[in-house]
Amino acid sequence: MDKQPSCQNCDSPRRPVKARGLCSVCLSWQRRIDRYSRKLERAKNDPGKYYIKNDAQSLPLRIDIAKRVLKEFRWREDGLRTNSTDDWHVEALVNILAQVSLSNFPCNINRLIQRMSPQSRRLIYEVLLAVVENIPTRDPIINDGWGRWFHDRTFSQEHWEQVKAGRALEKAYLESPQAKALQDLMRKKVQTHLPQSSIPN
C-alpha cells in the first residue's frame, strides 16, 4: 500500500493533501497569506486607490497571524511523530482546554504527566489534540497563547520595521490626489453645515 503523502507545511498524513502540496487546513491559511500579501502590494504600488480600500494598515498583522497559525500546525504534528510524546506537548494541550473551560490550571499537572509512560503520553496527546482541533474559535488557539505572542511581536524588531513601513505608506496615501480630493470634499461638506458667520473669509 502506498504511503499517504504528507502536507509540506505541517507534515501531517492525517489530512488529504490538496493544492500546492498542502493539506486542506494549511492551504486555507496559506491562501490568506497570499491574499493579504497581494492586497498589501497593491496598496504600496497605488496608495491613493488601495490604502483605504484594502485596509492596508491591518494587513501586516493579519499576515503574521496566519504565519503563526501555520507554525502552530507544525508544532501540533511534532507530538504525533514518535511513540513518546514529550511532556510539554501534553501539558500545553491541557492548558488550552483549561483556558477554554475557564478552569484553573492544575499545579500538579506536570508531575502527573511525567508519571505516564511514553506510550501513554502519546495516546493521551492524540486524544487531547482531537478535542483541541475541534474547539469552535475564529483562529486556532496556540500553545503559548495569543497574548504572549502579541506581546513578543510588539517588542520585536520586525514589528517596528513594519510600523515604520506602515507610517510611510500612510504618508504616501495622505499625499495622494485621491486623499487630497477626499479632504477637500469633507471640508466643503463641513462648511455647508456651518453658519455663514463662522466660515473664515
Q: Identify the three-state secondary structure at position 23.
A: strand
Spatial neighbors of 166 by CB under 8 A, at least 6 apart, are 56, 57, 60
pLDDT tens sequence across 67-88? 999 999 999 999 998 887 899 9
Q: Check whether residue 12 and residue 54 sit in a common domain.
A: yes
Please determine, for residue 200, whether its predicted confidence score (pLDDT) is greater than 80: no
Q: Check whether residue 66 and residue 10 sit in a common domain.
A: yes
Q: Check whether residue 61 and residue 86 sit in a common domain.
A: no
Residue 46 in domain? yes
Give me the mean pLDDT over the 9-33 stretch: 94
Q: Check whether residue 64 and residue 125 sit in a common domain.
A: no
Mean pLDDT of the chain: 90
Q: Check whether residue 98 and residue 68 sit in a common domain.
A: no
Residue with cell 474559535: 137
Domain, as residue range, for 46: 1-74
Spatial contact of 66 and 29, defined as CB atoms under 8 Å apart: yes
Instruction: Provide the number of structural domains found in the chain.
Output: 2
Percent of the chain with pLDDT over 70: 94
Q: Check whether residue 65 and residue 21 sit in a common domain.
A: yes
- The DSSP letter of residue 21 is G
pLDDT tens sequence across 87-142? 999 999 999 999 999 888 778 888 999 899 988 999 999 999 999 999 999 999 99
Q: Check whether residue 15 and residue 64 sit in a common domain.
A: yes
Q: How confident is the model at residue 10, as a pLDDT?
A: 95
What distance lies between CA 176 and its chain's CA centroid?
Answer: 31
Please determine, for residue 188, whether its predicted confidence score (pLDDT) is greater than 80: no
Residue 31 in domain? yes
Q: Output the nine-digit C-alpha cell for 81.
A: 511523530
Residue 5 in domain? yes
pTM of the model: 0.86
How many C-beta atoms surround the C-beta of residue 60 within 10 A? 20
* Nearest alpha-carbon partner for 162 in 71, 58, 69, 68: 58
Q: Check whether residue 70 and residue 83 sit in a common domain.
A: no
Q: Check whether residue 102 and residue 66 sit in a common domain.
A: no
